[in-house]
Amino acid sequence: MTNISRCLHRSLAIFCVGNITMKTVTVAIGLIIFATYHDCDPLTTKKIKKIDQILPYYVMDTVANVPGLPGLFIAGVFSASLSTLSSTMNCLSGTIYEDFIFPFIRENKRLQSRAHIILKITVVVIGLVCIAMVFIVERLGGVFELSLSLSGITMGTFLGVFTLGMVFPWANAKGALVGTMTSFLLMSWMSLGAQHAMASGSFSFPQLPLSVESCDDFNVTQSYYPKNQA
């Protein structure tokens, strides 16, 4: 085994451990929040407007009296999101330049010398598109569910391609391309159709029953159940 293979295997192992740890912590936080607010739902009592606000509300509700901790939480959220967003936008800009722009300027040495300017302009355009998408995303329900649904479009396609390469070594590039496009269209139809159904209210995921019985400043004492469980 070469040094490159060892590094790849080590990187994959570290990634798997980190990803499993992150998912475990995320699920644990969700269970803790549900256990805390199962008898006084902040969304039902209008203390929060969207379900995505539940984690910041929980932090401010439980550790607001600890000096510096709420600010540290907000700083962590912003730093994590900005670092992920910046690396993703730079990677996307480089991919667009290499695959779509460079073939057209291959013979133009002058434009190639200004590749850094083209990359910066591409990042700005991608950022403007992302900002414009905010007005669409806010109408599609929870951001977490939406991000998982949209990432499933590409993740499912990649899984199919990698599985094809590992299980069927005699597959050729043309078959892989056709399968990739078919998988992408099918996953897009499923994911976007599900998002449209949830936005229109014709489809929703089942939720655990919530209550407002222990709320001191809420005058409704009966349990609250989602519409699909009523």
The set of residues, in sequence order, having a beta carbon less than 8 Å from that of 111 and lying 6+ positions away, is 105, 118
Q: What is the pLDDT of residue 174?
A: 84
Burial tier of 42 (Cβ tally within 10 Å: 0-12, 13-18, 19+):
buried
Q: What is the pLDDT of residue 52?
A: 77
Alpha-carbon span 49 to 141, nearest angstrom: 11
List, for the chain, all residue ranges whose pLDDT scores fall below the cut of 70.
Answer: 1, 137-146, 205, 217-230
Q: Could you give the 3-state DSSP secondary structure of residue 210?
A: strand
* φ/ψ (deg, to 5) at 172: -100, 175
Q: What is the pLDDT of residue 82?
A: 81
Cα–chain-centroid distance for residue 26? 13
Alpha-carbon span 46 to 44, nearest angstrom: 5
Q: What is the pLDDT of residue 1?
A: 55
Q: How far apart are the first and last CA of the chain?
A: 59
Alpha-carbon span 196 to 74, nearest angstrom: 31
Q: What is the pLDDT of residue 142?
A: 60
Q: pTM of the full predicted structure?
A: 0.61
Q: What is the pLDDT of residue 171?
A: 83
Alpha-carbon span 185 to 175, nearest angstrom: 15
Alpha-carbon span 136 to 167, nearest angstrom: 39
Residue with structure tokens 């060892």?
6
List, as one string, the DSSP characters of 34-69.
HHHHTTS-TTTTTS-SSGGGHHHHHHHHHHTTSTTH
Q: What is the pLDDT of residue 20?
A: 92
Q: What is the pLDDT of residue 28?
A: 93
Q: What is the pLDDT of residue 69?
A: 84
Tens digit of each residue's pLDDT (9 = 90 or more) over 141-189:
566 666 777 777 888 888 888 888 888 888 888 888 888 888 888 888 8
